[in-house]
């Protein structure tokens, strides 16, 4: 009697086990199909984590204005205005106001290393020569900066460029830093400008302005 009962229970268990195996196999096949299709198997369980790093990339000194002036032809055939020359910030120019500090670009808010692009909407021809070619020049260079006067070493890694004055190409992104190395005391870059104005550069009633734009992005 007990053996018959035990045999019956075992048979029932076997049927249950077979059903369980079939269900499991079906589950595995179903999961594999979903995996192969690229679809999420269930939307509530599909997690996409997005971390937004907020970086403030600001020009804390955002204006260089030499004001109004002209080439002193009794001195030379062109005037040189240079934000990185404290001794002779203006050579052979008259009326322009000397500028002895370039634009200051400051990164704040994150220690995330970023690359920085710089662009200008003008080149020498469009900014100074009214579209012509009168041997005028519009150049920039970058350096690490500290408001106390000294350099802030390692604001950028070894890729900081251009370190010497380089002619500006209009509307071209120039990667001035491949990777910042942020710290509170090393987060500033200085961008200096040199403008060489030919005596033949056309005078204007209004100001000539170049917009310099800095863009940060992940390297």
The residue within the footprint of other proteins, chosen from 111, 159, 171, 217 (CB under 8 A), is: 217
Q: How far is the CB of 88 from other proteins (least distance, A)?
A: 17
CB of 35 to other proteins, least distance (A): 5
> Which residues, other chains included, contact 105 with Cβ-Cβ below 8 Å and sequence gap of 6+?
57, 58, 59, 60, 116, 188, 189, 190, 191, 214
The residue within the footprint of other proteins, chosen from 1, 5, 54, 158 (CB under 8 A), is 54
Q: By CB under 8 A, which span of 31-39, 149-157, 159-167, 177-185 interacts with other proteins?
A: 31-39
Distance from C-alpha of 163 to C-alpha of 184, rounded to nearest angstrom = 23
Give first-to-last CA distance, the chain, whole Å. 79
Cis peptide before 63 (omega within 30 of 0): no
Task: Tell which one of 1, 4, 5, 52 touches other proteins (CB under 8 A).
Answer: 52
Say whether 25 sits in a helix, a strand or coil: helix
Taking the least distance from each CB to other proteins, the nearer of 24 and 153 is 24
Contact present, 114 and 215 (Cβ < 8 Å): no
- Residue 60 in tokens: 């804390």
According to CB under 8 A, which residues from 176 to 215 bind other proteins?
A: 191, 193, 195, 197, 201-215
Smallest gap from Cβ 53 to other proteins, in A, equals 5
Please give the Cα distance from 144 to 208 (Å, whole number).
27
CA distance 67 to 82: 13
Q: What are phi and psi of 197, to 5 degrees?
A: -110, 120
User: Binders of other proteins among 55-114, rule CB under 8 A?
Assistant: 55-59, 61-70, 81, 94-96, 103, 105, 109, 112, 114
Span interacting with other proteins, options 25-33, 142-150, 153-161, 176-184, rule CB under 8 A: 25-33
Give the separation between CA 185 and CA 193, rounded to whole angstroms: 24
Hey, which residues between 109 and 168 contact other proteins (CB under 8 A)?
Answer: 109, 112, 114, 128
Q: Which of residues 27, 86, 100, 172 is near other proteins by CB under 8 A?
A: 27
Shortest reach from residue 48's CB to other proteins, in Å? 6
CB of 164 to other proteins, least distance (A): 18
């Amino acid at each position: 009697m007990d053996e018959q009962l035990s045999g019956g229970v075992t048979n029932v268990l076997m049927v249950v086990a077979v059903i369980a195996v079939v269900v499991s196999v079906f589950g595995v096949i179903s999961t594999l199909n979903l995996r192969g299709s690229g679809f999420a198997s269930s939307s509530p369980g599909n997690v996409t984590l997005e971390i937004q790093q907020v970086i403030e990339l600001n020009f804390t000194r955002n204006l260089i204005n030499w004001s109004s002036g002209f080439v002193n032809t009794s001195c030379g055939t062109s005037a040189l205005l240079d934000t990185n020359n404290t001794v002779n910030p203006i050579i052979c120019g008259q009326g322009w106001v000397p500028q002895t500090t370039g634009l200051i670009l400051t990164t704040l808010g994150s220690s995330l290393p970023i690359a920085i692009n710089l662009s200008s909407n003008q080149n020498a021809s469009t900014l100074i020569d009214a579209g012509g070619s009168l041997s005028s020049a519009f150049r920039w260079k970058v350096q690490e900066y500290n408001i106390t006067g000294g350099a802030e070493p390692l604001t950028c890694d070894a890729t900081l460029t251009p370190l010497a004055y380089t002619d500006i190409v209009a509307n071209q992104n120039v990667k001035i830093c491949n990777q910042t190395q942020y710290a509170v005391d090393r987060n500033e870059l200085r961008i200096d400008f040199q403008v060489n104005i030919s005596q033949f550069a056309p005078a204007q009633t209004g100001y000539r302005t170049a917009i310099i734009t800095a863009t940060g992005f992940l390297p």
